[in-house]
A and B are shown apart, each in its own frame.
Chain A
Amino acid sequence: MSQTFLLEPDIIAATENVMPDLNTDLVLAKNYLKQQSAATGDSVYDHLVDIVQKLLSQKPPDVVDNFEQYSWEVKQDKFKPNFDLLNDLYMSPPQMSLTRSMDQMFRLVASKAEKLGDIGEEEQELDLEEDNFKPRITDLLENNHYFKEGGYGLPDNECYAIYISLIMLGIKEPVATIRFFGKIFGTKANYYVAETDLTIEELDRRIREFELKDMPGEGEGEGESHHSEEEAEMAAEGEAREPVSKEPVRPKMPPEPTITWTPPAPIPVERPGQGVNRKVYYVCNNPGEDWICLPDLTPDHIRVARHTVRCMTGDLDAEVVTFPPFEGTERHYLHAQICRIAAATSVSPQGFYTFGSGEEEEDLDMEEGAGDMAFNLNPFYHGHSLKDLLDSNLTYWVHHGRYILKQGRTIWWNPNAEMEEGLEEEDEVEGPPSVPPEIGPPLFTTLAEDARIEGLKPWSTRISSILVPERAVVTIRSNIWPGAVAYATGKRSECMYVGWGLKFQPPNFSPLQLPKPQDEYPIGPEVMEMADPTFADEEAYRIAHLPPPPPPELPGEGEDFGEEGEVENE
């Protein structure tokens, strides 16, 4: 800029005593502003024009305060690539991928609804039979409405999509009842979980499959035992051959230690439709995608899941790296967590469910098989008052989830059952000590008896409305499984879980310690490290162990001693 003043025409003008002209000044200033920057080819003039144009067309408030940012935004706009210049590229909105699967689902459900409508019009008689095939789906929309009243639940758009996809599940899969269990967050994707009962035919098929799978398992066991017998024979042969060999006889080694530890008998898996596998869970990442059935659980899965903490990733085939090792992928782990949550947080007001069908007179034997008995909605349930449900002693709320025992089963399996049968026959006293059966709390135990954590009540009850108690909903949330809630109002009640699938374990999680290495031999003075005896020690030892001086009174005996000593020396 300073250069411009030194240019020749200016100097000439100055010397010729010409008065400054406004027009030339303007032209000079404009020329300066129009100077293009070498880097971007942009000029201040164009930039100011753009800013002013943007300000006047958009008329944002308080421009002065944020002028810098406006200038920055105008510059930024220039860098936007314009795809339309070269070829007509269409950028589809990001919602596209989701829409595809949703659209397919809507079509399927709509066509099914149409078909059902047609049948209903044509043949009223067949309608009853048709009803048997139609799965019973709990009304998620209505339940979600009450959850939202209570301050929980899912957003409307999500909820509706899930409801439709539950109907799709009923069409595609052989299920009799469907309930929305909840949503489990994952690091990459979330899971929506549906809890179902299979149809009777499908259940029979699965039980048959399960039993078939069990048979080869026994075969393997026999094979293994055969193998071990062979090994034993080999060992025996080896011993027998030893004296025959003509090689110099080696000093006889002590026998190699054999493993005395036998693995405890595996706890049998509960068959489909029983215990932890009573309900079948279907999951999907997004409503509209296909529902995937989770595989059956073994007691071992539950045992390991109790010893670990881990986030879901959202990929059912992801590896589960834990200690103790987990046999299976994330789908097994997810199932184990769902079962644990379901067992701990399925709650309902007292009397909401009842054993048996409820309509007939109940003289059921509570003792027998109470751990795995079916229960149904109680038609005579009339609801409790708000005050009762809000009571902090929680005596009006009961569990309807089956307690999972330490074994990882809901029905206790006696590990010594076979042995005990044998004992009865042979009347022997020996045998492993009988294990006291584990007994969990029976179904419909009140929440008042739940264990407290850190002086914290495991459940908190809240009322949804202070202003309008007539419309209020009572919600109860679990403090042990954050995210598990249930509501009750009038004759309705339902529970739901939305969370990470993590248990609240104060103070913190600490991983299971590795087992102590086993001792190779018993610890004794032979194998212990100790200081060598010094000369003084040895002297003291020698003096202490000197043969006693021969008593002078009995010379005859002394001679005898000597003779014996000589005999020994020979």
Chain B
Amino acid sequence: MEVHKLWEYKEYINVNGMMLTNELISFLQNSLTLLQVENHFKHIQYWGQLYAVDADYHIACGINDDAILDRKYYYSTDFKFWGLLPKAKKKYKHLSLLATFPFRGEPSLKLKVLDEQLEENNPERCLIMSEENRLAATISNICEEAEICARGQLIKQPSGTVVINPNFYGLTAAEGKHLKSYLHIRLAQHRWNTNLLTRQDYNYSMDFLDSVDQDIPNGCWNLSLERGGTVAYLRSLYWPGMTYFHKIRTQDAGFLYVGNGRKNLDVPFLL
């Protein structure tokens, strides 16, 4: 969610009974504006909160020229110091899915993760990773699977760069009821013409991302229209705590993750 609009969005975002407190918003706006200026970001977004035992992590995302490739993630536990998250390695992404124990709130902590799939004497069976790497990997996993936007919120310019659409006027009520109107913020994983041609009213500058309705299984995204059909909410069942809201026919939209950073693998049983 855009940091400078947190006060307006406060009433809309409500993840698992969690609300943004006034103090949290004040802290975030102050420290993240400073961070934005230091790093010359075009946009800065509050990404969410990861529960840990000792202190919770707050995550922010700075966006520069390209809204998909040019993202940088920062974490903080006290709003005074924002640390840049390292790039998530594939190895750690795998390990972070295996780790069942909670985050501690101490980035330099070394964790041992046991991969029970491998054989007894395989040296890779028990690996060590730091909590910072685990945090980066977890967030990268969540981003890949559950970071979403409404169709038209991101547009591809003729030069190929993706930007946040400044003239986004929101989905209509009819569009808001369809999962097809919500897109993943990631490099497309389906073929480009799949994403384009599954729509009647396709648009080259908008339909370059994967839409949410192709996720497996059907129903892993829970779409509900609330407040008399004026606000659309999307909740991910795979990452409980990830909520996306969009106020129909307005520019207001954003997502927030508040949770313990564990992927819920029981989804097929839930539906």
Q: Using a CB–CB distance below 8 Å, which chain A residues touch chain B?
A: 60-62, 65-66, 68-70, 72, 93-99, 147-157, 182-183, 185, 187-190, 308-311, 454-457, 460, 462, 464-467, 479, 482-483, 485, 496-500, 502, 504-509, 511
| Contact across chains for B228 and A460 when beta carbons are under 8 A apart | no
- Bound together, the chains give a CA A459 to CA B40 distance in angstroms of 40
**One of B11, B17, B100 near A507 (C-beta < 8 A):** B100
Expressed in whole angstroms, the minimum distance between the Cβ of B135 and any Cβ of chain A is 17
| Contact across chains for B100 and A454 when beta carbons are under 8 A apart | yes
Check: B247 CB closer than 8 A to any chain A CB. no
Given known contacts A95-B229, A150-B21, A309 and B269 CB-to-CB distance under 8 angstroms: yes
Expressed in whole angstroms, the minimum distance between the Cβ of A151 and any Cβ of chain B is 5
B224 surroundings in chain A (CB, below 8 A): 188-190
The listed residue with most A CB atoms (<10 A of its CB), out of B11, B16, B166, B219, is B16
- Bound together, the chains give a CA A62 to CA B167 distance in angstroms of 10
Can you identify 16 A-B contacts, CB atoms within 8 angstroms? A66-B166, A69-B205, A94-B229, A95-B228, A95-B230, A96-B228, A155-B11, A310-B269, A311-B270, A457-B53, A460-B51, A482-B241, A483-B17, A498-B16, A504-B260, A505-B266
Expressed in whole angstroms, the minimum distance between the Cβ of B214 and any Cβ of chain A is 18
Extra pairs beyond A190-B224, A464-B23, A465-B21 (20, CB < 8 Å):
A68-B205, A94-B225, A96-B228, A153-B19, A154-B19, A157-B11, A187-B271, A308-B269, A310-B270, A454-B100, A454-B101, A460-B53, A465-B23, A482-B241, A482-B259, A499-B17, A502-B266, A504-B260, A507-B100, A508-B266
Check: B86 CB closer than 8 A to any chain A CB. no
Expressed in whole angstroms, the minimum distance between the Cβ of B42 and any Cβ of chain A is 13
Check: B107 CB closer than 8 A to any chain A CB. no
Expressed in whole angstroms, the minimum distance between the Cβ of B258 and any Cβ of chain A is 9
| Contact across chains for A148 and B166 when beta carbons are under 8 A apart | no
Check: B37 CB closer than 8 A to any chain A CB. no
**One of B17, B166, B262 near A497 (C-beta < 8 A):** B17
Check: B155 CB closer than 8 A to any chain A CB. yes
Q: Using a CB–CB distance below 8 Å, which chain B residues touch chain A?
A: 11-12, 14, 16-21, 23-24, 51, 53, 56, 100-102, 155, 157-158, 165-167, 173, 203, 205, 219, 222, 224-225, 227-230, 235, 237, 240-241, 259-260, 262, 265-266, 269-271
A454 surroundings in chain B (CB, below 8 A): 100-102
- Bound together, the chains give a CA A72 to CA B224 distance in angstroms of 29
User: B-side binding surface: helix, strand, loop or mixed?
Assistant: loop
A65 surroundings in chain B (CB, below 8 A): 157
**One of B19, B167, B225 near A155 (C-beta < 8 A):** B19
Given known contacts A157-B227, A187-B222, A502 and B17 CB-to-CB distance under 8 angstroms: no
**One of B19, B23, B240, B260 near A500 (C-beta < 8 A):** B240
- Bound together, the chains give a CA A65 to CA B80 distance in angstroms of 37
| Contact across chains for B167 and A156 when beta carbons are under 8 A apart | no
Expressed in whole angstroms, the minimum distance between the Cβ of B90 and any Cβ of chain A is 22
Q: Give the residue name and chain of the B residue nearest to A511 (CB).
A: B269
A456 surroundings in chain B (CB, below 8 A): 53, 101-102
B270 surroundings in chain A (CB, below 8 A): 309-311, 502
Expressed in whole angstroms, the minimum distance between the Cβ of B128 and any Cβ of chain A is 17
A479 surroundings in chain B (CB, below 8 A): 51, 102, 260
B222 surroundings in chain A (CB, below 8 A): 185, 187
A148 surroundings in chain B (CB, below 8 A): 19, 21
B165 surroundings in chain A (CB, below 8 A): 66, 69
B271 surroundings in chain A (CB, below 8 A): 187, 311
| Contact across chains for B173 and A94 when beta carbons are under 8 A apart | yes
Q: Give the residue name and chain of the A residue nearest to B225 (CB).
A: A94
- Bound together, the chains give a CA A70 to CA B157 distance in angstroms of 13
Expressed in whole angstroms, the minimum distance between the Cβ of B112 and any Cβ of chain A is 12
Expressed in whole angstroms, the minimum distance between the Cβ of A324 and any Cβ of chain B is 14
| Contact across chains for B19 and A152 when beta carbons are under 8 A apart | yes
| Contact across chains for A66 and B167 when beta carbons are under 8 A apart | yes
Expressed in whole angstroms, the minimum distance between the Cβ of A162 and any Cβ of chain B is 13
- Bound together, the chains give a CA A482 to CA B257 distance in angstroms of 14
Expressed in whole angstroms, the minimum distance between the Cβ of B50 and any Cβ of chain A is 12
| Contact across chains for A152 and B100 when beta carbons are under 8 A apart | no
| Contact across chains for B53 and A151 when beta carbons are under 8 A apart | no
A99 surroundings in chain B (CB, below 8 A): 228
**One of A310, A457, A482 near B16 (C-beta < 8 A):** A482
A505 surroundings in chain B (CB, below 8 A): 266
- Bound together, the chains give a CA A309 to CA B237 distance in angstroms of 13
| Contact across chains for A508 and B265 when beta carbons are under 8 A apart | yes
| Contact across chains for B228 and A97 when beta carbons are under 8 A apart | yes
- Bound together, the chains give a CA A250 to CA B162 distance in angstroms of 89
| Contact across chains for A187 and B11 when beta carbons are under 8 A apart | no
| Contact across chains for A467 and B23 when beta carbons are under 8 A apart | yes
- Bound together, the chains give a CA A151 to CA B219 distance in angstroms of 29
Expressed in whole angstroms, the minimum distance between the Cβ of A169 and any Cβ of chain B is 21
Q: Give the residue name and chain of the A residue nearest to B248 (CB).
A: A94
Expressed in whole angstroms, the minimum distance between the Cβ of B157 and any Cβ of chain A is 8
Q: Give the residue name and chain of the B residue nearest to A462 (CB).
A: B56
Given known contacts A95-B230, A98-B228, A507-B100, A496 and B17 CB-to-CB distance under 8 angstroms: yes
Expressed in whole angstroms, the minimum distance between the Cβ of B201 and any Cβ of chain A is 9
Given known contacts A72-B203, A185-B235, A460-B53, A483 and B16 CB-to-CB distance under 8 angstroms: yes
